Structure 1
């Protein structure tokens, strides 16, 4: 009896704080979601209650009057190109570091790992002048390149952990069958590392979609704004125009893709991180 009571108290001591934390995290999101369907007058009159009628006017206003449609398109381009470019650069690099023995390979790997420890803010000013010299300043494609390079160390670190566990005998057999190193990489190593590739792809995509500070520095014109910059503009406008419903609607538009993406791939992400930690 004492043991069962102790187990109940122990489980309650763990679960109750987790439940309270979950409520504290989810309720502001739920409140924002409800606010996106309210008029400004209703937000002030009944900020914590349900809307009297679920209206899409705030979404229409955000989509048309505040160019959220253009910003969503820009964020989508930056995210897709940045994520794809990261994989194109990281997969061969991780394979070369892990499999090809050359002088300085370990030092190169340590260099990538150490780059993860350097705050990105230290590179913003040099990157600003570099993009200006290359005529890529205020250019979403230049921003996508910066995003891809910024996530290379993390991506290489994760992928090398997966590649290290693939038996070399598979590569040797493929080479005996006449496969070139490039064919071995893309037809054997890449499919067997797919769990890690999916993990870093989702994590990088979420990072690029939500990124704000580099977009603020490297983009100037509103036509090139990403979604984070457009929401920041609406937030500043809301202080003077009381467009809080529009702000909430734009926030809902921004977080829905992230929630859907994570909900679909959450098991793969958890599995990939766990396997990467064990294999590393």
Structure 2
């Protein structure tokens, strides 16, 4: 009995070793980057792997004031909020219609949305560029938000339909008998009961929009419209000439801290929402 217990402990320990090593490999560069954000350029060159002599915030001040990282933060926050809201406004009623309302071609339309998840977004960048240019929405933060929302629409619909499909239809039938319209049923009954899925979709979309770089690079041109990714790319190019590596590390730290905080707060809800969606689906 004791031998089996020791074997079980060794087995668990052996399974955890690769996970611990992988965690260290992922977390150490982030930790090193954060330490670099508190170092002067002299410290970075003299001792790149060591601790900073003092934890000063001059690099953050320089990034905020001299390199306009504050504008990048504001622009990224704007497109993230707008894109997430637009995605929800489109995905919630579409998911309800596909899941609850039977009409000709509903299955084909649902399969079309799901198949769109398999198509690489890169294939649509050139047509989207000319489409936005024709509508006068090129180099426009609202136009970028619309592109973000549409790009995440298939994923949002896929998740939300699984949640809405688990809601008993008897609730809708009772509400309809009481005189509620389909729109009121959607917003008063279905939406509150699907809140777990809505929160999961919103957080996943927000993380995607905040971190997005390539579409912003293609559709934004003027520096005042740069999102955080483009602003950091500009600082990176400047650092190769001015040696502002501490400022670059500070900018990267500013970019990742909101996502870390957001995920830490909602990690349980995200995991619960994705698990519930998989089981209900």
Q: TM-score over 0.5 for the alignment?
A: yes
Q: TM-score, normalised by structure 1?
A: 0.99
Distance 2:222 2:252 in 1: 21
Matched, 1:130 2:131: yes
Distance 1:122 1:17 in 2: 37
Moved over 6 A (4+): none
Matched, 1:278 2:279: yes
- 1:75 aligns with 76
Distance 1:12 1:54 in 2: 37
Deviation at 1:9, TM superposition (A): 1.7
Deviation at 1:176, TM superposition (A): 1.1
Aligned pairs, number? 280
- 1:163-202 superposed Cα distances (whole Å, 9 cap, x missing partner): 0000000001111111111010001000000000000100
Deviation at 1:5, TM superposition (A): 2.3
- 1:195 aligns with 196
Matched, 1:224 2:225: yes
- 2:7 aligns with 6
Unaligned runs of 5+ in 1: none
Deviation at 1:2, TM superposition (A): 2.5
Q: CA RMSD in A?
A: 0.6
- Residue aligned with 1:54, SS: coil
- 1:84 aligns with 85
Distance 1:123 1:192 in 2: 35
- 1:69-91 superposed Cα distances (whole Å, 9 cap, x missing partner): 11111001100000000000000
Unaligned runs of 5+ in 2: none
- Residue aligned with 1:135, SS: coil
- 1:160 aligns with 161
- 1:22-65 superposed Cα distances (whole Å, 9 cap, x missing partner): 11111111111111011000111111111111111100110111
Deviation at 1:269, TM superposition (A): 0.1
- 1:54 aligns with 55
Distance 2:186 2:169 in 1: 12
Distance 1:276 1:155 in 2: 12
Deviation at 1:242, TM superposition (A): 0.8
Distance 1:187 1:256 in 2: 36
Distance 1:40 1:222 in 2: 26
Matched, 1:246 2:252: no
Q: TM-score, normalised by structure 2?
A: 0.99
Distance 2:125 2:36 in 1: 36
